[in-house]
Amino acid sequence: MPSVNDTKFQTAVFILTGIRGLEDVHVWISIPFCLMYIISILGNSVILFIIKTDRSLHEPMYIFLSMLAFTDLVLSLSTMPTTLGIYWFQSREISHDACFAQLFFIHAITLTQSAVLLCMAFDRFVAICNPLRYTSILTLPRIAKLGLVCLLKGVVLILPLPTLLKQHQYCKDKILSQSYCLHQDVMTKACSDISVNIIYGFFLTVSSRGLDLLLILVSYVMILKTVLSIASHAERLKALNTCVSHVCVVLLFYIPHIALAVIYRFVKNPSPIIQIVVGNVYMLVPPVMNPIVYSVKIQAIRVRIIRVFVK
């Protein structure tokens, strides 16, 4: 009898969820999702291409922007197969290994994004608070090291998650609440003790994203302090204007993440629709909006994008 149960656990799959109650119109619902993926992939690819090919943009701010565009691109590609598979082909089943691999990429990339946003805040802090040493502090080798640290941070901290999840047996309702796999969603389907997963997940939230957000806020407090000490009103606006796009991107990243974390951790019986909407905003909106925000707010990027499409 134990061997039968073991086989059941090994061959079991998770069931992904589209928008419940609207299965008959999933094909129509797929249109905005498809457009968002196209905009995300095209927009971030164009930004990467422009920054790579234009040597005048090989400066700290644009290099960090290219890192953010790369993470947005990988994030979109990580969720696109399962999301569009549900809406186009009603393909809802995903094996344990595929699910664990997907959640590893999703969580590793989002942690990397958080670290990159912190680096971008540091870039603005140095540019405004210590402009004379800007080029000597943010050298290309140092930026490359920061980018590597951001990536390693995401990979190393998330690597235990799939390992921990593989230790569990999944005998509960295996219907996930999203069209992709998240650690906080998958672990609730285990029929064994998940205390370690809960503790480690909380540690990741506080020590990584929480600390990154705190340091970003501290950097902007110091930036505001420096800006307010500038005598000229025009110079103040000019300095603050260089931070607007980054502030928008930070809000786009952290607000949906905080909302999703609150839903999974503190709401006992959340509405499935709210979960799905917040989950899709969390995963789709930042990669779509980031290239739009930067192309609108940064003239150098906007001019070069126009040149690419006008030629």
pLDDT > 70: percent of the chain: 95
> Are 92 and 303 spatial neighbours (Cβ–Cβ below 8 Å)?
no
Torsion of Cα atoms, 263 then 18 then 80 then 257, to 10°: -10
Please report the pLDDT score of residue 267 as a whole number: 75
Query: CA neighbours within 13 Å on the CB side: how many for 89?
Result: 8
**Other Cβ atoms within 10 Å of 299 Cβ, number:** 9
Residue 5 has what pLDDT? 46
Q: Between the CA atoms of 129, 255, 16 and 160, what dihedral angle is there, to the nearest 10 degrees?
A: 50
Q: What does the DSSP 8-state code read for residue 207?
A: I
Domain, as residue range, for 55: 2-310
Alpha carbon of residue 129 to chain centroid: 28
Q: For position 151, which CATH number holds?
A: 1.20.1070.10
pLDDT of residue 3: 44
Residue 15 sits at φ, ψ, to 5 deg, of -110, 115
Tokens of 176: 């996930």
pLDDT of residue 82: 93
The count of domains in the chain is 1
* Rg of the chain in Å (alpha carbons): 21
Q: What is the mean pLDDT of each run of 10 residues along the chain (311 residues)?
A: 44 82 82 93 93 90 94 94 90 92 95 95 93 91 95 95 91 85 90 90 88 94 89 79 88 89 77 83 90 84 79 61
φ, ψ dihedrals at 281, nearest 5°? -65, -45
Left, alpha or beta for 192 (phi > 0: left; psi -120 to 50: alpha)? beta
